[in-house]
Amino acid sequence: MPKVYVPQDKVQVIELVDLLDYAQFMKHNGLRLAQACAAYINDKYELSYSFVEDSTYAMVTLRIICDLDAEVPSIGEFFPYAPFYENEMEALFGVHMRMMNLDYHTKLYRMKNWASMLPEDARKEKVAMKKEKSVVPGASVQPGEGGVDLDSLISKSVPISKEKTAAMAGIKLDEQKEGNE
């Protein structure tokens, strides 16, 4: 007779600041991301990330309740396919995702209205927030005005040494080769 599994489901409400720690914990313990989604409830976002342990089918759903202006970090570094869920949350609900390694810039779906799953009043509030965040203080050209002021950009750039670039990328420079050149 085949073995019958009765999977356990657990929903755990967590704080937004703890999302990356929990995602890393799930990955480290062999759970896979099964789904991620957003909902709009009581003027807040309810974000759900469900993880499954494949041998027992046990599921843990991390639930985050946050304000409309919250910036949600991507878990794509731990689960490479997460940006598809995250782009969907951003396109349909206007969730502000950050650090996405694959960002469709709210164009995952071809829709007439951005954040179309939000009620009209909440969508108007999100559009106003988006416009407010897109203004760059001190910039001579604002987003959406067209063109780039290269002189301004170049004058503000900071040169980075080869050593610092290598350290940021996690690369060890071969000092022997550098000395011979």
pLDDT tens digits for range 148-162? 444 444 444 444 455
Distance CA 48, CA 106 (A): 19
Where do the H-state alpha helices sit in 67-137? 82-93, 120-134
The overall average pLDDT reported for the chain is 79
Mean pLDDT to the nearest integer, 45-50: 97
Cβ–Cβ under 8 Å, residues 136 and 142: yes
- Look at residue 158 in the predicted model and tell me its pLDDT: 46
CA diameter of the chain:
74
CA neighbor of 44 nearest in space, from 77, 16, 9:
16
Bigger pLDDT: 167 or 138? 167
Q: What is the pLDDT of residues 100-128, one digit of tens each?
A: 988 888 788 887 888 888 888 888 888 88
- In which residue are the tokens 């290598």 written? 166
CA neighbor of 96 nearest in space, from 65, 73, 80:
73
CA neighbor of 47 nearest in space, from 64, 68, 22, 72:
64
Helix/strand number for the chain, H first, E second: 6, 6
Domain boundaries of the chain, sorted by first residue: 9-119
Distance CA 89, CA 92 (A): 5
Task: Output the CATH code of domain 9-119.
Answer: 3.30.460.80
